Chains A and B, each alone.
Chain A
């Protein structure tokens, strides 16, 4: 059996606009006799490189990838809107592409007339549109507005009508580009039901989406594009997992880069660590020695006398790896490296956790927990160990500080460390108490497939 979609070593190169090109006109083209050569690209951007894939009839393929990874280009190639620069694309059967909904709607004429024209544009005959007209209007939930000009429609109505027409073309191959966000929850469910119906009837679907859950639930196979190349394909769960790991890895790098930038600028502003003695002289009240008046308003920064210095802070996950991205519920350790050139007996080590809105999620120190400092000299390490990181998904920032019992700061690092908590559950709030659900009586839930 021939596959519904067969893409063989397809590459797509776009011409990139430069200023010189943009202002190239007919006149200059004629003057420099470059009329023909100007029609050939010279500065190019490769959106897809050597992509091969086959989708057998009746299968659903989910395409995932970061923005700009070539997903939409692939869809346009399969739809036949653009041609591959090299390689071939073959599609068996009538294609309908849900790329731009309601493209070609004319604002001045009624929804009814637009449905007809749009249907004909998408390859139906007038009779076929007439036969499906009621279904289309019903699906779009537009019965009362169908005779009003399209310019009076809300954007949601516009999209719904466009979607309804496109889906009723009854294609063999359906291409969907991130269009499920067109309506309210109810409409989205209707769309998904319609897709499921397509699947049952043995139609082929190519789905481009950022909704990974949809790919896992709905697709038979997943394709992961990265930088215009196929980075993986196969079982949706496996591919989505690999994709998520890659995203974490990238976020990790970004956070690490961000952290080091924050620390650099903080150190530059603070007192030079080489001359800690100068900072404690009573006559030189350097701003960075004292804490800001309102601790909870303060933004990132570093201050303190440096009699005790925090030389390094690392976040270590349960498996002993230092990192910036952690799973909710897993163990997390904050390793704080301390250094005191001279012996110190009055010291408190503290940490504070803030979420992205700047709300303090948790804060504590050794003094609060009835540990009073006795002696600190040379290099030392303090580890704040969390058994289970029960935070909801989000980005968090960390305060780490060493100060006297009375609050005089030795070294205070304000929001200089960033980490991200990942979670499969999209619960809300700040804190996730360890919990389970229990039910009794006549109440049951569907078990997920």
Chain B
């Protein structure tokens, strides 16, 4: 396993070109092409703003106003995470031709899925940054320094999930169907559309939320991008970082163990 893992950097060029191909192929044939990567999150943010300003002006809590912006800070990373999971679960099966007929490092496929979704996340960040400036949200350099860290941890964690899901789905196709429901459930179990401080620290809800790894990522994103004041969640984030690395190694070992069966099962 460690030997295979050490090979991974050698596929840099391959991963790079496959991510580029994914991004190119996605909007090929559409009139606006690449701009959709910006327009999609922009439209999403406008819809939220409209809904929570005019349709149901939900929260009067000044701490999470403007609410649409608060929500957007959580939804962007969540979309990266959720799309990666959903897409990677089918990626070995749809790439079956490569695995069966070409000597091809299979782990490249889920990794490419995670990375191309990450690129979309970055496009979304550009739109988010525009709105942060528009609403005069305070952005501090000290806070922004944490940003690469949280993105990195999310990348490691997501890749771990993607590896496990892609490998298991080869054997159990029903994962793909279960997964979309699980992801929806997970979404509401993460403080994205409601703030974490909705629950007091000692309540069972808060304890439950803390068990959810994505909670810590989202809170950090919100602290960096939305809330004022220093990033208070850093300790939790570092613990999650360590867990994520372990989880990634676990995911890779599951993938590696099942690797030989892919060519026969997909």
What residues make up the interface of A, taking CB atoms closer than 8 Å to B?
14-15, 25-27, 29, 38-39, 76, 79-83, 95, 97, 99-100, 103-104, 106, 108-109, 113, 116-117, 120-122, 125-126, 149
| Residues on the A chain within 8 Å of B17, using CB | 116-117, 120, 126
**Which single member of A38, A95, A99, A149 contacts B28 (CB below 8 Å)?**
A149
| Residues on the B chain within 8 Å of A106, using CB | 21, 25
Q: Are A26 and B178 in contact (CB under 8 A)?
A: yes
Q: Taking CB as reference atom, which chain A residue is nearest B263?
A: A82
Q: Taking CB as reference atom, which chain B residue is nearest A25?
A: B174
Q: In the complex, A29→B173 CA distance in Å?
A: 12
Nearest-neighbour CB distance to chain B for A303, whole angstroms, equals: 55
B197 at interface by CB-CB < 8 Å: no
Nearest-neighbour CB distance to chain A for B176, whole angstroms, equals: 11
Please name 16 further chain A to chain B contacts, defined as beta carbons within 8 Å, in addition to the given A83-B260, A100-B101, A108-B24, sorted by A numbering.
A15-B265, A25-B174, A26-B174, A26-B178, A27-B174, A79-B103, A81-B100, A82-B260, A100-B100, A104-B104, A109-B24, A117-B17, A117-B21, A121-B14, A121-B102, A125-B13
9 closest cross-chain pairs (CB), A and B: A100-B101, A26-B172, A108-B25, A108-B28, A103-B101, A103-B97, A82-B263, A25-B174, A99-B101
Nearest-neighbour CB distance to chain A for B33, whole angstroms, equals: 12
Q: In the complex, A175→B173 CA distance in Å?
A: 32
| Residues on the B chain within 8 Å of A113, using CB | 21, 24
Nearest-neighbour CB distance to chain B for A108, whole angstroms, equals: 4
Q: Which of B90-131 contact A (CB under 8 A)?
A: 95, 97-104
Q: Are B263 and A81 in contact (CB under 8 A)?
A: yes
| Residues on the A chain within 8 Å of B95, using CB | 104
Nearest-neighbour CB distance to chain A for B242, whole angstroms, equals: 28
B234 at interface by CB-CB < 8 Å: no
| Residues on the A chain within 8 Å of B24, using CB | 108-109, 113
| Residues on the B chain within 8 Å of A25, using CB | 172-174
What are 10 of the A-B contact pairs (CB < 8 Å)?
A39-B258, A99-B101, A106-B25, A109-B24, A113-B24, A117-B17, A120-B14, A120-B17, A121-B14, A121-B98
Nearest-neighbour CB distance to chain A for B100, whole angstroms, equals: 7
Q: Are A39 and B261 in contact (CB under 8 A)?
A: yes
B171 at interface by CB-CB < 8 Å: yes
